């Protein structure tokens, strides 16, 4: 006995759908009174692309394409198997590039945004003690103009010992049109004939300190101050 050849499931589903469509057209033909040619034009069956599809569909059934047109299958874009990790890395890189587009200048290291070193520090005997004077720093260490000067740290050394904090002098005229150009400070806690050394550091409002200024040394002489 010859075994019946099995029909693929996609082909069987397509044939049943085609049979149902033919029955619906027959019903419409009998009920509308139009000719079969008119009904085909109304349904768009006579369109050239439909005719091409009718030629391709049998081939599609033979290839097990589940009723899909071979023409449509041939125009599908190839699928790419890109790992999700690669897509994630690409998205992160694009976000970093876009986020950096609004940056005006390159970031600077901390030692470049600190104030420039004060080069001119002077010490002199005065009636009330040792008078220190220095000019206002106006540049950062990298040469850019500085507008956020916070103040000064004055350090002192006595009898050749290590430097220690003497006082902090804050600056409060940053927003003024006319700013102080030359600063002064009097160290009154001095003794006659004692040797003192001084140095000064400037700092910004956000806490970046400059390097220490050159050291100045002075011997306390009250008599020299009176003259």
Q: How confident is the model over 89-109, as pLDDT tens digits?
A: 887 776 766 655 554 555 666
Mean pLDDT of 60-68: 50
Rounded-to-integer distance, Cα 19 and Cα 30, Å: 17
pLDDT at position 142 over 80: yes
Mean pLDDT of 73-94: 64
Q: What is the pLDDT of residue 113?
A: 83
Where is average pLDDT lowest: 3-7, 116-120, 179-183, 197-201? 3-7
Mean pLDDT of 128-153: 93
Q: What is the pLDDT of residue 174?
A: 85
Rounded-to-integer distance, Cα 221 and Cα 227, Å: 10
Q: Rounded to 5 degrees, what angle do the CA atoms 85, 88, 92 make?
A: 140
Q: Which residue has the higher pLDDT, 222 or 65?
A: 222
C-alpha distances (whole Å) from 85 to each of 81, 98, 101, 159 are: 12, 20, 25, 67
Mean pLDDT of 64-68: 49
Mean pLDDT of 32-54: 52
pLDDT at position 57 over 90: no
Stated length of the chain: 227
Where is average pLDDT lowest: 22-26, 134-138, 176-180? 22-26
Residue 149 · residue 171 · CB < 8 Å: yes
Rounded-to-integer distance, Cα 75 and Cα 73, Å: 5
Q: What is the pLDDT of residue 37?
A: 59
Kindly report the average pLDDT of the chain as a whole number.
74
Q: How confident is the model at residue 111 (pLDDT cuts 50, 70, 90)?
A: low
Q: What is the pLDDT of residue 52?
A: 46
51-86 burial, b if ≥16 CB within 10 A, otherwise e? eeeeebbeebbeeebeeebbeeeeeeeeeeeeeeee
Domain range list for the chain: 9-74, 111-226
Q: What is the pLDDT of residue 112?
A: 74
Residue 22 · residue 40 · CB < 8 Å: no
Phi, psi torsion values for 51, nearest 5 degrees: -65, -40
Rounded-to-integer distance, Cα 216 and Cα 68, Å: 94
Strand-pair partners of 204: 149
- The total of other beta-carbon atoms located within 10 Å of residue 156's CB is 19
Q: What is the pLDDT of residue 195?
A: 95
Residue 149 · residue 202 · CB < 8 Å: yes
Q: What is the pLDDT of residue 223?
A: 72
Q: Which CATH superfamily does the domain covering 111-226 fall into?
A: Immunoglobulins (2.60.40.10)
C-alpha distances (whole Å) from 32 to each of 29, 83, 217 are: 6, 57, 118
């Amino acid at each position: 006995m010859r075994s019946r050849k099995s029909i693929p499931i996609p082909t069987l589903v397509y044939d049943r759908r085609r049979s149902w469509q033919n029955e619906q057209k027959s019903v419409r033909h009998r009920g509308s009174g139009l000719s079969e040619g008119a009904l085909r034009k109304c349904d768009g069956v006579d369109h050239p692309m439909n005719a091409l599809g009718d030629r391709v569909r049998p081939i599609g059934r033979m290839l097990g394409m589940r009723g899909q047109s071979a023409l449509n299958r041939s125009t599908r874009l190839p699928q790419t198997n890109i790992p999700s990790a690669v897509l994630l890395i690409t998205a992160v890189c694009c976000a970093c590039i876009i986020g950096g587009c609004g940056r005006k200048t390159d970031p600077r290291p901390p030692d470049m945004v600190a104030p420039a070193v004060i080069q001119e520090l002077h010490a002199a005997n005065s009636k009330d003690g040792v008078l220190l004077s220095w000019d206002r720093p106006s540049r950062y260490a990298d040469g850019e103009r500085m507008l956020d000067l916070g103040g000064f740290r004055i350090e002192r050394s006595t009898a050749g010992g290590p430097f220690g904090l003497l006082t902090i002098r804050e600056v409060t005229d940053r927003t003024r049109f006319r700013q102080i150009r030359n600063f002064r400070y009097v160290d009154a806690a001095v003794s006659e004939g004692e040797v003192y050394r001084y140095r000064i550091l400037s700092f910004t409002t956000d806490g970046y300190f400059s390097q220490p200024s050159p050291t100045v040394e002075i011997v306390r002489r009250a008599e020299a101050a009176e003259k």
